[in-house]
Chain A
Amino acid sequence: MDFRASKSSRSRRRLLGFTVPEVVIAGAILALFVATSVAAMTQINRWAASARLRTLALALAQQKVDQILTTPWSTLGTVPTILTVGTTTETSLPLNNDAFNSEAGLSSAFTNLDLQINATRTTVVRSISTRQVGATVTVTYTYRNRAATIVMNTLRATDDF
């Protein structure tokens, strides 16, 4: 066997290293991996922020439903404003930040770091009978150019039903 020839061939291949196409392909695969990973992680963060906003929007809708359910309403008195049949729209409701938390003595040092997202809350009160109303509370907001909506329905009867 000619061992010299075989050794010489291996040495030549080691000296040559990677070919340009090999480097380009490896680089492309690496770049694709990096780009895909960063995009995926960024998307996961958006989903997390989106889920958080839904919880906060739900609390905003729940708050209006609570108001509708607990405002005193007697058949002997006038109908309270919040239970008057019609549509009420409230705009620019802060969803994820409370500016008041930044007041002296209250600041937690972590407030107002997020991008402020405002919501619009629309309340539609409809008459069911003289002693009962139905209400639909809709909270809408836009996050990353996508509109999101939370809807809650409730019924309310007079206190002296």
Chain B
Amino acid sequence: MVVALAIFSTVSLGLFAFTSTSLRLVARNLATNHSHQWIRLSDQQLLHDLHNSASAFVLVNYDGTNYSDVTPTATTDVDAGTQQYISNRANGVRFRMLGGGPYQLTANTTTTSVNLTFNFSVGGNVPYVPEVGDKVVFPLLSGNGEFDISAIVTMPTKASPTGVVTISAANGIGFTINTTTAGNVTTAYFYREVAYTVYGNLLRYHPNYTSTNKGTYTMVQSDITSPEPFALLFPSGSPTTTGLNLRLSLESYDTNYSARTYQNGTTTLQTVIPMRVVPTQVISTNAS
């Protein structure tokens, strides 16, 4: 009887140890693969969008209620990959991306014009519809041919692709543009403010980071566990930043399917992603 009990206990303990070890190993594997997958996909999307930024990056903060800009200041931390100083961290970043264009200006302007008419048709469709807060940029206008859109007078549609936008310019566009003479073609690009934020373990993409639209986002990835992953870089000895290099320290940990004891299920991605549109197509970084 005693021998039988001893054997039974030993076998039971062995089975328990085996099952426990197996579960831990499987859980660790799941945690590692999940966090790896989240970071890999986040990196792909962030690389794509941040590379395509047409303006300098601006750090933003979301406290659960309000979105606000963060003034970058250099810290004593040095990024190992670039040897530049890291700014204070933030949980978001905003920048401008190309919304649409080039679109042709189809109505003449005087120097004081603020209403601009464009043909938004592309192959019979209207892939871009302007919104208040977007920027319109005329590459061929001397000086700063960049204006904020303050109102949409006529919304372009597929049936009627001609749209009219109002620019925010106290003295008007500043140029007389003749669009009716044959051969005269004046075009402009439209840029929209977008943002990425991390809040509540979510990496969120704001496709239209303008005044009342800021709270609208799509979830890029869950299980992001670095609450303030964004920073800007300061060159050595420089008190200012160009805002052209964004440092990411994105960390993911599978909070749903694993316990903290499976510790090496964490993935931390550190990298610096610069925009590739240099010089920038949008000069102003004012909030929209």
Q: Which residues of A contact B (CB under 8 A)?
A: 34, 37-38, 41-42, 44-45, 48-49, 51-52, 55-56, 59-60, 62-64, 66-67, 69-70, 72, 90, 92-94, 96-98, 100-101, 103, 105-106, 108-111, 113-115, 121, 159
Contacts and interface: CB of A to CB of B under 8 A. Distances in A.
The main secondary structure of chain B at its interface with chain A is mixed
Contacts of A70: 244, 274-276, 278
Given A41-B22, A48-B33, 12 more contacts: A38-B21, A52-B32, A67-B272, A70-B276, A92-B80, A93-B81, A98-B270, A106-B228, A109-B225, A109-B260, A110-B225, A115-B264
Interface of B: 14, 18, 21-22, 25-26, 28-29, 32-33, 35-36, 39-40, 43, 47, 51, 77, 80-82, 86, 89, 225-228, 244, 249, 251, 253, 260, 263-264, 266-276, 278
A37 B18 CA distance: 9
A41 B225 CA distance: 26
A32 B35 CA distance: 32
A44 B25 CA distance: 9
B40 A55 contact: yes
29 contacts: A38-B22, A38-B25, A41-B29, A45-B25, A48-B33, A49-B32, A52-B35, A55-B36, A55-B267, A62-B47, A63-B81, A63-B273, A66-B272, A70-B276, A94-B80, A98-B268, A98-B270, A100-B86, A101-B268, A105-B228, A106-B89, A106-B227, A108-B227, A108-B253, A109-B225, A110-B260, A110-B263, A111-B226, A114-B266
Contact of B274 (A44, A66, A98): A66
A154 B274 CA distance: 16
A100 B113 CA distance: 51
A52 to B, nearest CB: 4
B29 A48 contact: yes
Nearest to A97: B268
B268 A111 contact: yes
Given A55-B36, A94-B270, A111-B251, A42 B25 contact: yes
Contacts of A63: 81-82, 271-273
